[in-house]
Homo-oligomer: A and B are copies of this chain.
Amino acid sequence: MGNRIIVIGANAAGAKAAAKARRIDPRAEITVVDRGEFISYGACGIPYYVSDTVADVKELMSTPVGVVRDAAFFRKVKGVEVVTGTEAVAIDRQAKTVTLYERSTGHTVVRHYDRLVLATGSSPSIPPLENMGCPNILTVKTLEDAQLIKEKASPDKSVCIVGGGLIGLETAEALRERGMAVTVVEMREQLLPGILDPEMARLVEKHLQEKGVTVLTGCTVAGFDGTTRVEKAITTKGEVPADLVILAPGVRPNVTLAREAGLTIGETGAIAVNERLQTSDPDIYACGDCCETTHLVTGRKIFVPLGSTANKQGRVAGINAAGGSSTFPGVLGTAIVKVFEMNAGKTGLTEAEARNLGYQVETVLAPAPDRAHFFPGAKPIALKLVADKATGRVLGLQAVGLGAVDKRIDAAVAAITFGATAEQLAQLDLAYAPPYAAAMDNLIVAADILRNKLSGHARGITPAAVKKKLTEEDDFILLDVRSPGEHEEVRIAGAKLIPLGALREKLETLPRDKEIVAFCKVSLRGYEAQKILEAAGYADVKFMDGGILTWPYELEKGARKAE
Residues of A at the B interface (CB closer than 8 Å) are: 12, 22-24, 26-27, 42, 44-45, 48, 53-54, 59-60, 62-65, 67, 72-73, 76-79, 166, 170, 296, 306-312, 315, 328-338, 343, 345, 347, 368-369, 372-376, 404, 406-415, 417-418, 420, 424, 426-441, 444, 448, 457, 482-483, 486, 500-502, 504-505, 520-522, 524-525, 528, 531-532, 534-535
Q: Which residue of B lies closest to A380 (CB)?
A: B64
CA distance A342 to B333 in the complex (A): 32
Known: A44-B439, A308-B437, A311-B440. 10 other contacts (CB 8 A): A45-B375, A62-B374, A64-B522, A77-B500, A79-B532, A308-B441, A406-B436, A406-B437, A414-B418, A418-B418
Alpha-carbon distance A59/B434, docked complex (angstroms) = 12
How far is A93 from B368 in the complex, measured between Cα atoms in Å?
42
Interface centre among A54, A426, A440 (most CB of B within 10 A): A440
- Can you list 20 contacts pairing A with B, beta carbon distance less than 8 Å? A42-B434, A54-B374, A54-B375, A59-B374, A65-B525, A72-B501, A166-B433, A307-B432, A308-B437, A308-B444, A328-B427, A334-B429, A336-B436, A406-B431, A409-B431, A410-B431, A411-B413, A413-B430, A414-B418, A418-B418
Q: Which of B338, B408, B427, B483 is close to A433, meaning CB atoms less than 8 Å apart?
A: B338
| Contact residue among B24, B329, B431, B502 (Cβ-Cβ distance under 8 Å from A413) | B431
Q: Once the chains bind, are B410 and A504 in contact (CB under 8 Å)?
A: no
Bound Cα distance from A185 to B297, whole angstroms: 51
When the two chains form their complex, are residues A308 and B60 in contact, meaning their CB atoms are under 8 A apart? no
**Complex contacts, A429 vs chain B, CB 8 Å:** 296, 308-309, 330-334, 347, 413, 417
Q: Cβ of A334: which chain B residues have Cβ within 8 Å of it?
A: 429-432
CA distance A483 to B343 in the complex (A): 37
Given A406-B407, A414-B420, A428-B417, does the pair A373, B336 have CB atoms closer than 8 Å? no
Question: What is the bound-complex CA distance between A295 and B169, given in angstroms?
Answer: 44
Q: Which residues of chain B are within 8 angstroms of A418 by Cβ–Cβ distance? A: 414-415, 417-418, 420
Q: Which residue in chain B gives the minimum CB-CB distance to A43? A: B439
Contact in complex: A531, B59 (CB < 8 Å): no
> How far is B427's CA from A70's CA once the two chains are assembled, in angstroms?
27
Closest chain B residue to A407, Cβ basis: B407
Instruction: Tell whether A23 pairs with B457 under 8 Å between CB atoms, given A374-B42, A431-B335.
Output: yes
CB pair A522 B413 closer than 8 Å = no
Assess the B417–A336 pair: CB atoms within 8 A.
no
Q: How far is the CB of A420 from chain B (nearest CB, A)?
A: 7
Q: Judging by beta carbons under 8 Å apart, are B77 and A501 in contact?
A: yes
Closest 6 CB pairs of A and B: A26-B535, A414-B414, A418-B418, A308-B432, A59-B374, A64-B373
